[in-house]
Structure 1
């Protein structure tokens, strides 16, 4: 449930409170970052840079949609990078060794991601284990399976699924617009559907949901299954762009995904989040990375800066949560 506005909020213009205020704040940060990097590099504010960013973010954006739902139910999934690599590996194996068509291979890849999500969700739900521990174990197990499927080598698939990375409008890929469409649909599901209300309710107060006669277990399982499926979609997008399946793909990408979701304002404590705000968080992360790269910042320094941004986002979320609790 959305908390009642405080007296201080009541004195603010409507567009500065609630979700609208969050969106405006994120857009302001994004614009300021673009202006900053444009002033420091004459090449940043260009069509080439914007197209590169647009074509770089679909895989992260798609996984961030699923991670938004996972964090809202107060869970976490660290295995998404490994699942992404496994899905691409399964598609490549199907096309290269089983002579499967691209659509069949893609379905097999999606099924692999779905199974991984179901395993993570089932283990955490049935044995009531922390999702952090379960997904950490899945991270290693699924990565190892990706190595087995690819024989620890990059598998080149050619242009079998290259249509996903093909230009759709100008030089911007099909994947980018698919990620936007998914974001819009997921936002509608989260805010307008019964399932979305149940997801928020579980993250806010799971015991209250039980007392209301709603079993949280199938909803939790569905959320993790969705996460696995979307990680597989991201794997296909990356394989289409690289025309290859790399067993090392997605290593560490789970941190980028979680960072984007947290920067977008989704609470690590559960019960609050927005898919549209998450997409803005993805854009902020991508602009930060592209800007630092154009300025010639070394990879270790980029990691330090990104890490500090994540910590700052978590601190802001914690302070916001404490202020909300104080109002009650």
Structure 2
């Protein structure tokens, strides 16, 4: 059996578990510290209404971040997810408004469109051995233009016909948030408990070693991008349900927030390491930071500067952690 497929030794496994627990604890401390800070700065922050608003705001971001975690683990990147969100929502809205489709059939169309975008991106990147950064940058423009064509560059107001995902349940928490949490759990299990997940980590760690071990990286890479497109399509449905409309401008710049959440959660930009649960905590950190800054009256430029600094600090911390691990 090759080294690439040998199970880790007990001390190595324990070290990995301790590192993972340390990351969980560190992110939790950061999140709780931010909650405490903004609660001291604004008397309205630490309220049920604020927290319900936060959890109902993040489902689309969280769902896309699950897929982006897998992409970054294989040392790839997908800049098209915001545009895919817009196209999936646009197709679903037009199917209901103009083509007479049922909401369920329209939703399936949106999901299929997202998966197809991811499949095309992954296939082109793998077949031509092109950096996913470049391919997804082109896909971003193609898909955004398609969203404008589908909607005639106008927001399509669908109303309550697609609002089911945003429907509040117990305590005002939406169906979309519960779906997002479920997908985080499933994503973590897939990443840590399945052959596919181990292949994803292996490809990001050492693709050549995986190839020598008999694992073809190409279908795994294509599957990861297809999954990410599918989840971006679901995020589009969640966004449209929340707004009761499909805006062809929706999701602009959202790919940067998604990548930020994943990086803050500790997923390595170099590939080979990541956690879906940590990514979800990263999403919560981004959401709490944005909500807190809004409540304390920070201007939009100030919010962007602070968020950008948080991202840079997260990358620096990740780099230092990798160097320490290499020396150890």
Shorter chain as normaliser: what TM range? Answer: over 0.9
State the distance in 2 between where 1:2 and 1:145 align. 47
Matched with 2:139 is: 138
State the distance in 2 between where 1:37 and 1:184 align. 28
State the distance in 2 between where 1:280 and 1:5 align. 27
Matched with 1:218 is: 219
Larger CA deviation: 56-65 vs 315-324: 315-324
CA RMSD of aligned residues (A): 1.6
State the distance in 1 between where 2:273 and 2:10 align. 14
**Residue correspondences, number:** 321
Matched with 2:67 is: 66
Deviations 1:202-247 (A, max 9, x none): 0000000000011000000000000000000000000000000000
Q: Report the Cα offset of residue 4 of structure 1.
A: 8.8
Deviations 1:139-181 (A, max 9, x none): 1110010000000000011112211000122211000011000
What is the 5 A alignment of 1:84-99?
84-99=85-100
User: Does 1:311 find its partner at 2:312?
Assistant: yes
State the distance in 2 between where 1:128 and 1:110 align. 27
State the distance in 1 between where 2:110 and 2:20 align. 36
Q: Report the Cα offset of residue 326 of structure 1.
A: 1.4
State the distance in 1 between where 2:248 and 2:9 align. 45
What is the 5 A alignment of 1:138-287?
138-287=139-288
Larger CA deviation: 166-175 vs 216-225: 166-175
Long gaps (5+) in structure 2: 1-6
Change (3 A) 1:49 1:86: same
TM-score (norm 2): 0.95
User: Does 1:121 find its partner at 2:128?
Assistant: no
Q: Contact 1:3–1:324 at 8 Å: present in 2 too?
A: no
> Which 4+ runs in 1 deviate beyond 3 A?
1-6
Matched with 1:78 is: 79
State the distance in 2 between where 1:323 and 1:27 align. 22
Matched with 2:3 is: none
SS at structure 1 position matched to 2:159: coil
SS at structure 2 position matched to 1:167: coil
SS at structure 1 position matched to 2:252: coil
Change (3 A) 1:62 1:2: farther
State the distance in 1 between where 2:54 and 2:93 align. 26
State the distance in 1 between where 2:312 and 2:136 align. 21
State the distance in 1 between where 2:78 and 2:170 align. 33
State the distance in 1 between where 2:247 and 2:215 align. 42
Change (3 A) 1:136 1:5: farther
Change (3 A) 1:4 1:123: farther
State the distance in 2 between where 1:111 and 1:177 align. 22
SS at structure 2 position matched to 1:160: helix
Long gaps (5+) in structure 1: none
State the distance in 2 between where 1:44 and 1:304 align. 21
Q: Report the Cα offset of residue 47 of structure 1.
A: 0.5
User: Does 1:34 find its partner at 2:49?
Assistant: no
State the distance in 1 between where 2:161 and 2:317 align. 44
